[in-house]
Structure 1
Amino acid sequence: MFAVRLTRYQQLADELAASIRSGALRPGDRLPSVRDLRRQRGVSPSTIFQAYAQLELQGLVEARVRSGYFVRARHHLTRLPPDAALPNGRITPVAISELVFELLGSTRDVDVVPLGSAFPAAQLFPFEELARSGARAMRRLGPAQISGALTAGDESLRAQIGRRYALNGVPTRGDEIIVTNGAMEALNLCLQAVTQPGDVVVVESPTFYAALQALERLHLKAVEVETDPAEGVRLEALEALLKQQKVAACWFMPTFQNPLGALMPNAKKQALVQLLARYGVPLIEDDVYAELHFGARRPLPAKAFDQEGLVLHCSSFSKSLAPGYRVGWAAAGRYAKDVERLKMMTSLASPIPPQLAIAEYLVQGGFDRHLRHLRGALQTQHTAARTLIERCFPKGTRMTEPQGGYFVWLELPGGVNTLEIHHQAMAQSISTAPGVLFSADRRFTRHLRLNLGHPVTPQIKAALKLLGTLAKAQAHRNAQ
């Protein structure tokens, strides 16, 4: 792999972001005008506009009509979990699967309001166009194409995936891309390629419950690292762990992390990759939400900064194009051959028809047009649902402010138990994802992940209002 140098606009955006986070630029401050910044820095107006768009993506600034750009007030952003929710740094055996099955098994019921679901609304995806693409591709399918696509995947699809890496400034070798049955197979194969039973894997805090399930299945141990709800893993805390523990791998989601929605800035992603390279620790990068950004540009993955082949980048089309098709992939760097062998020994190959349908759809050029529509819909739904949550949930509720994806993470007032709320809501056919799912030691007892990827229909509105009522009742009871 080759390192990607930060462009001038990225360097400028990172410098301004650092000034905002340090307090040198405070909420409400006006950023320098394009004319002033052009004179001071000697950069073009397009570079400045791109830098400001990047800061908008990170939620740090906002544009005001005919006034310029201003540092954004972030009243609803949970900057740090409370002390009670911070990871203790201890190695923890993982036993989460039964709880996941118990709490989320009912989300498949079509009559349940899907606030605990892992997917956006089905009507946001171009299933008819995909079906037509699949029919065209299958009519051209020859016997050699079937046998040639075993294990690594269909060549045309891999070429299209490689092309999108290149367009996003992420050079990859063609032979490091392995098509899988969704991102979860890619992540599990990558985890298996770099660990042995009993090894320690670092995960975020909170982390995606499927990562914990994967560790449990492979008899691995978890150690959680402090994670900022806005910018992801705290590198100082991670380095302290690496000094103390023998770590086999890290499993992180640097872009729109599930459940927080955190977006790690480019400079921090680069520093993360460099830190892990110093310790020789592989990074399994779960990057399934990056196409769902609300800003102007797709965030770079950590993979973009990998010089040593230590980043195993995993993604899929399940969240961005084709839920149910189960087409994912791994760009596994120096571990690509190991991942391919493991794929051969487990599922052998992924089904050809969905691969061909997606490859044909990509060739026809409709993907980016679909993504623009999808991002707009998700952002609109996100804004409407957040407004309702702010109005309906009890005073003291804190909420993350993601700049992409479709999840929001709530921290409710002290004493509120979201597992109890989950059970009460399920009795009314409303699903949620309570915070205890997102940690090996189940400590996020007053936290809640909600899926905002569905249109805010009267049914969704009623469900959010009911959750707010249940939370208020608990908070009032605890205050007495």
Structure 2
Amino acid sequence: MKVLRENDFAYQAVYRYLTSVINESDAAGAMRLPSLRQLADRLKVSISTIQYAYSLLEKEGRVYSIAKSGYYAKARSLLVPPANGSDLLEAVYVNARRPGMCVLSTDDPASLQPLDSPLLMLERELLRQYPRQPQLLLQPCGELELRTVLAARYTTSSTHCWHADDVYIGADLRAVLEILIAVLELRQATVLVESPCDWVILRLFEAAEVRVIELPLQIDGALDPQWLASLLKTEPVRLILLSSALNLPHGSAAPTANRQLIAKLLAEQGTWVLENDCCSELADEHDGQRLRDWLDPERLLVFSAFDKIIGTEAPYGFVLSRQWRSELQRHFLLRSFRLSVTRQKAIARLYASGRIDQHLLVLRRLLKERRTHLIQLLRERLGDALQIVEPQGGATVWVRSLRTVNMSDVFHDLLRQQVVIAPGELFSLHRQHAQHLRLSAISHSDHDLASVVGLVGDALRLAPVE
């Protein structure tokens, strides 16, 4: 395989090979791509490696799959930057992957300091030590060693304790959330969520016809307890989705007193809580306590993923739950996730050795340096145009335009200048945050960040007032 470079990982070579095949195609319509088995035989790699490369391209919107037919590359006409009337999220995804674009919309903190290489080196060492691991025991909920490590990591007391049987590991976060929607029977049910909220979660809820009520965060990340109490009394709330500590994209961590008050209110109402723990490890500073520490663990589910900390080689998502055991086991069994046992063991040993905690110290520092630089530029050049929510962690900065403008026009104006931003409306299903942006300083490629911030300022100032 000519695209295979020294020290490359197999999936990266396959990904580049498929990308070149797609780019070199002259097909005007959709092009059928080789099957998993055909590519595996042609490139001399495993089927799972081919499948992972295809899944990356599918997430990027470059290919799609048809049941019992295979994978297809989208026609070139579908890869043209979407027009104003097209789906805004699709426009962000497609343009962020176009060559030469300056991407100020990304939220990929691990890209600054990935643990991919140490993870794969550890995996290779495990393969050398145990070259023929017998796959006798089916583990549909994930490898036992990793589930045991996660259970111990989340245990904080004799009351708030977890066991390996409470942990379920899936192919990625999306797959885990889809299972939770099914198990908790959320279709057409009412769910309360913090707002702004991750667009992946919102789109999954929307696809499942979940009735979402958004709870806007205050500037310090707190929730209004009186409004929440009123909603719990007047609405048939099945579940409430809250961040464990750090809320992204908002970048805030609710004050301890507010989190305690919210937890007490939820306990009094007996409300089921789904805690988003994906970003809590990225907080600059924290008192060590999460929202779950004040909640009844019998009415709590916690979900997270590894990729924001480790990198793309650890795409798995997971959930912790003491309840719904038979239903969760059944759904994970039906999904039949083909997860690498050795990769999961390698992740477990990164945690057990303390390597993850050491890595987080460096990652938090690097993220803070990048955010601080971006905020300094925003204040110098756009101080009269933006209000900035001071981030307490993560890779992004949440800002609000002080002028009421059409942010979609701003978005498309910047696209013409090869700059991609994330408009705030993506983080709401009810068109909240229309004057907000999520900006990031971790993936602006070779572009001068100061010049790019200047372009953002010009686009905001020149946009007509609504």
Q: What's the TM-score bracket when you normalise by the shorter of the two chains?
A: 0.7 to 0.9
1:90-105 equivalences in 2 (<5 Å): 98-105=87-94
Give the equivalent residue in structure 2 for 1:179. 169
Match of 2:301 in 1: 312
In 2, the alpha carbon distance for the partners of 1:369 and 1:314 equals 22
Alignment correspondent of 2:65: none
Shift of 1:149: 5.7
Name the CA shift for 1:338/1:268 in 2 (closer, same or farther; >3 Å). farther
Tell me: CA distance 1:339–1:305, structure 2 relative to 1, closer, same or farther (3 Å): farther
Distance between the aligned counterparts of 1:131 and 1:111, measured in 2? 30
Show CA shifts across 1:403-461 (max 9, x none).
11122111102322222111122222221110111111223221111123458975333
> What is the alpha-carbon distance in structure 2 between the residues aligned to residue 145 and residue 387 of structure 1?
55
- Amino acid of the structure 1 residue aligned with 2:263: V
**Deviation of residue 123 (structure 1)?**
4.1
Distance 1:342 1:234, change over 3 A: farther
Distance 1:237 1:188, change over 3 A: farther
Which of 157, 160, 168 matches 2:149?
160
Contact 1:401/1:408, CA 8 A, preserved across alignment = yes
**Which residue of structure 2 aligns with residue 122 of structure 1?**
111
Corresponding residue SS for 1:269? helix
Q: Number of residues paired by the alignment? A: 380
| Structure 1: tracts of 5 or more residues without a match | 1-96
TM-superposed deviation, 1:308: 4.5
1:38 corresponds to which residue? none
The answer to whether the aligner puts 1:272 opposite 2:262 as a matched pair is yes
How many Å apart are 1:104 and its aligned residue?
2.5
Secondary structure of the 2:252 match is coil
Cα 1:148/1:430, change in 2 over 3 Å: farther
Q: For residues 127-174 of structure 1, what are the alpha-carbon distances to aligned partners after superposition, in whole Å with 9 as ceiling and x for unaligned?
A: 221111111122344766644362221111112212322369952122
Q: Structure 2 counterpart of 1:237, which letter? A: W
Q: Is the 8 A contact 2:126 2:346 kept in 1?
A: yes
| Aligned mates of 1:412, 1:338 — CA distance in 2 | 46
2:204 corresponds to which residue? 214
Question: Which runs of structure 2 are paired with 1:318-333 in the superposition (5 Å)?
Answer: 318-333=307-322
Check the 8 A contact 1:151/1:343 in 2, yes or no: yes
1:404 maps to: 393
Q: Decide which of 309, 327, 330 is 1:341's aligned counterpart.
A: 330
Classify the secondary structure of the residue corresponding to 2:237: coil
Match of 2:432? Answer: 443
Cα shift at 1:110? 5.4
Q: Comparing both chains, which one has the higher relative contact order based on Cα–Cα distances under 8 Å and sequence gaps of 6 or more? A: 1
Aligned 1:54-69 pairs, distance under 5 A:
none
What letter is aligned with 2:249? P
Supply the distance in 2 between the matched residues of 1:437 and 1:324 (Cα, whole angstroms). 27
Task: Tell me how far apart the structure 2 counterparts of residues 280 and 139 of structure 1 sit (CA, whole Å).
Answer: 50
Q: Output the CA distance in 1 between the equivalents of 2:294 and 2:132.
A: 39
CA-to-aligned-CA distance 1:8-55 (integer Å, 9 cap, x gap):
xxxxxxxxxxxxxxxxxxxxxxxxxxxxxxxxxxxxxxxxxxxxxxxx
Letter in 1 for 2:407: T
Aligned twin of 1:292 = 282
Q: Per the alignment, do residues 229 and 145 of structure 1 end up closer, same or farther by CA in structure 2, a change over 3 Å counting?
A: farther
1:254-273 equivalences under 5 Å are 254-273=244-263
- C-alpha displacement of 1:279: 2.5
1:204 aligns with 2:194: yes
Q: Determine whether 1:253 maps to 2:243.
A: yes
Match of 1:354 in 2: 343
Q: Distance in 2 between matches of 1:298 and 1:162?
A: 21
Identify which range, 197-206 or 121-130, moves more after superposition: 121-130
Alpha-carbon displacement from aligned partner over 1:44-82 (angstroms, at most 9, x marks no partner): xxxxxxxxxxxxxxxxxxxxxxxxxxxxxxxxxxxxxxx
Is the 2:110–2:310 Cα contact (8 Å) retained in structure 1?
no
| Distance of aligned partners of 1:173 and 1:459 in 2 relative to their CA distance in 1, 3 Å threshold | same
Amino acid of the structure 2 residue aligned with 1:294: D
In 2, Cα distance between the equivalents of 1:398 and 1:455?
Answer: 22
Q: Which moved more, 1:210-219 or 1:337-346?
A: 337-346
**Residue from 301, 304, 321 that aligns with 2:290:** 301
Residue pair 2:388, 2:397 contacting (<8 A) in 1 also: yes
Deviations, residues 163-219 of structure 1 (Å, cap 9, x unaligned)? 322369952122111112233333332233223421111112222211211112212
Are the structure 2 counterparts of residues 148 and 392 from structure 1 closer, same or farther at C-alpha, using a change threshold of 3 Å?
farther
C-alpha spacing 1:344/1:121, structure 2 compared with 1 (3 Å): closer
Mean alpha-carbon deviation: is it higher for 462-471 or for 190-199? 190-199
Report if the CA contact (8 A) 1:176-1:333 is conserved.
Answer: yes
Q: Which range moves more in the overlay, 98-107 or 279-288?
A: 98-107
Are the aligned partners of 1:211 and 1:251 in contact in 2 as well (CA < 8 Å)? no
**Amino acid of the residue matched to residue 219 of structure 2?**
P
Residue 75 of structure 2 corresponds to none
* 1:26-105 map, 5 Å: 98-105=87-94
Q: Is the 1:121–1:453 Cα contact (8 Å) retained in structure 2?
A: no
User: Structure 2 CA distance, aligned partners of 1:196 and 1:127?
Assistant: 35
Q: Counterpart in 2 of 1:419? A: 408
Percent of pairs with identical residues: 22
Normalised TM-score (structure 2): 0.75
Q: Give the equivalent residue in structure 2 for 1:464.
A: 453
How far, CA to CA, are the matches of 2:148 and 2:220 in structure 1? 34
Which stretch has the larger CA shift, 236-245 or 258-267? 258-267
Counterpart amino acid of residue 387 in structure 1: Q
CA deviation vs aligned residue, 1:290-344 (integer Å, no higher than 9, x gap): 111212x464222222324211111111111223421221112323443232222
Aligned Cα root-mean-square deviation (Å): 2.6
Check whether the contact 1:231–1:265 (CA below 8 A) recurs between aligned residues: yes
Distance between the aligned counterparts of 1:269 and 1:329, measured in 2? 24
2:227 aligns with one of 231, 237, 256: 237
Amino acid at match of 2:282: L
SS at match of 1:450: strand
Per-residue CA distance 1:376-409 (angstroms, 9 max, x = gap): 1011111111000111225141111121112211
Contact 1:150 1:349 in 2 (8 A): no
Contact persistence 1:179–1:330 (CA under 8 A): yes
Q: Structure 1's 419 and 318: CA in aligned 2 closer, same or farther, altered over 3 A?
A: same
2:385/2:460 contact within 8 Å kept: no
Judge conservation of contact 1:134–1:360 (CA < 8 Å) in 2. no
